[in-house]
Amino acid sequence: MARFQAAPIFGSGMVLQRGKNIFVFGTGEEGVVIRAEFCGFMTSCTVTKGVWKVIFPPMGACRHMNMTLTDTETGEFVYFSNVAIGEVWLAGGQDNMGKELCDCAGGEDIVENDTADDIRYFKFPKRTRFDESHEEDIENAEWTTFSDKESARHWSAAAYFCAKELSASLDVTVGIIGCSWNDTSIASWMDRNYSRGGAAVYFDEVESGAKQETDDKAMAEYEQYLTYQAEWNKRSTAYSAANPNATAGEISEACAESNYSEPQLDPHSPGVLFDSMISFAAPYTLGGVLWYQGEADASHPYAYYTMMTQLITNWRDVWGDDKLPFIIGQLPMYAGVIPDDESWCIIREAQMRTFDTIRNTGIVVLVDINEHGEASAASKQIVGHRFAMQALDMVYGGYDGAFAPSIKNAIWRGDTVELQFEHAQGGFKTVGDPEKCFEICGADGVYHSAYVDISGERIFVSSEDMPDPCGVRYLWNNCEEVSIFSSFGLPLAPFRISKLYRTGDIYDDSIGNGRKFGNRA
């Protein structure tokens, strides 16, 4: 048996990140000296406390290279062929990122007829460390190319379309590391040590409710949970197909409650997927992260900003890259939730606030592309294109119109509110009636319909019944036809703004707290 092993993410056909130090790492027996050779460079390290890591210097893009790792004492070696240096992005999140090419609109035709020879994909298996096959499945995972049609069918559709555009624009090989799991909370992807406040409550809830029982019993409970959920999913899918306009409450009433009280071994539990997936990917050198998630945290929306910022800090630390780019996919519109529930609106706001306050982040506004009653829209070409636009603009030197317009400031002029925006150069285009998307309120916080006047890059909002307005909100609902777009065709991002409170006033480190207003000023 070899005295050292490279981490499973390294293999023939892999893509390594250009322009940054390249980390190659793994495990081994104490004291083994490993020599690494790649692209004319040679370096070495010693296994210490069971792990090892070598560092190659930054290199330019290239293809068809080989890497050799050698045990200097025994001469045993590991050989990786067809290695490319290009751009590497990790695609993470839940259903919206996880939807596969074979399930997206036109996906099967794309798989059969598209040519994407310069894209490679490493898909982490959906296993947790509690699964007996976890280690074996991770070790057997491999980098695949689009010519492997059976594998390509199961690539993330959004990540594929983004990678295809990046590869064509940059003329480099693009590698995607797929780390997604349906219905998972952002807390599933975090290290427990990075949770505090609202994020820590997620971990505390599971830990305080955990039973002191054997691993066998816990696994049996998990299997029962999976069986129940699979049966419920079949019932709810059939009901939704027969009743396409049904809300989440109507689906639950017709199909019985979904069992969301996950046992501790469930992959949706806090920290589980960080342990079983992310910890196996880090610190593989990345160009950035594509993150598309949020709907699973609708029960605790006021905690989302804290969790998102903690996740970014967590991942940047484990990757050893304080400037690691994060591009966040903002939640789309969705008719399948309770009509008067603000949870998705608050999460969209938290995602935008993360973009506003955390450096080297982007945000992809997607409120215009969702399908009624479908949280994970089948059309992913637009999603992938907008992720690529953001990456090309913030990482690779500029892309006109990559950012959707978003609220910048409000000027309170008596009975009229003047709204000013970022990324609104060229003014706005309207579709339908923009007034139905705006609401205005007084000091009592009760919102009313508003009169809207769009002038160039500014929007004026007023109401005859509101002599002293205190707040304005736009698209503050779960499902509405989008009416205002930038000159480049991107939708105006949803917002609420008030002269009574600052943004931070509506968030609390404990779950469930929050005010009625937010101010982005």
**Domains observed in the chain:** 86-197+270-403 (3.40.50.1110), 211-263 (no CATH), 406-506 (2.60.40)
| Res 516: pLDDT | 33
The DSSP bridge partners found for residue 1 are: none
Angle formed at CA 331 by CA 427 and CA 440, multiple of 5 degrees: 55
pLDDT digits (tens, 9 = 90+) for 426-437: 999 999 888 989
Sign, CA dihedral 126-384-9-362, equals negative
CA separation for the pair 339, 51 (Å, rounded)? 52
Strand-pair partners of 65: 83
- Whether 80 has a pLDDT exceeding 50, the answer reads yes
Structure tokens at 247: 């809300």
At residue 347, the pLDDT reads 95
Is the per-residue pLDDT at 46 higher than 90?
Answer: yes
pLDDT one-digit tens code per residue, 451-499? 999 999 999 999 988 889 999 999 998 878 899 999 999 999 999 999 8
Q: What is the pLDDT of residues 254-298, one digit of tens each?
A: 777 655 444 445 666 888 899 999 999 999 999 999 999 998 888
Tokens of 496: 């609420």
Q: End-to-end CA distance of the chain: give it in Å, rounded.
A: 62
- pTM, 2 dp: 0.87
- Over range 406-416, report the average pLDDT: 94
Is the pLDDT assigned to residue 337 strictly greater than 70? no
Note the pLDDT tens digit of each residue in 169-210: 999 999 999 999 988 889 999 998 998 877 787 788 766 655
Give the whole-angstrom CA distance, residue 381 versus residue 164.
10
Mean pLDDT of 221-225: 67
Cβ pair 79, 71 in contact under 8 A: no
Q: Which residues have C-beta within 8 Å of that of residue 462, sequence separation ≥ 6?
A: 415, 416, 417, 440, 450, 451, 453, 469
Mean pLDDT of 361-380: 74
Side-by-side strand order, sheet with 458-462:
406-413, 416-422, 458-462, 451-455
H/E stretch holding 316: helix 304-319
Q: Alpha-carbon distance 203 to 219, whole Å?
A: 19
How buried is residue 168: exposed, middle or buried, by Cβ count under 10 Å (0-12/13-18/19+)? middle
- For residue 386, name the pLDDT band (cuts at 50, 70, 90): very high
Q: Coil, helix or strand for 467? A: coil
pLDDT, position 284: 98
- What are the structure tokens assigned to 65, written together? 């290279």
Label residues 65-100 b or e (16+ Cβ within 10 Å = b).
bebebbbeeeeeebebeebbbbbbbbbbbbbbbbbb
Query: Helix count (H) and strand count (E) of the chain?
Result: 13, 24
Distance CA 460, CA 456 (A): 11
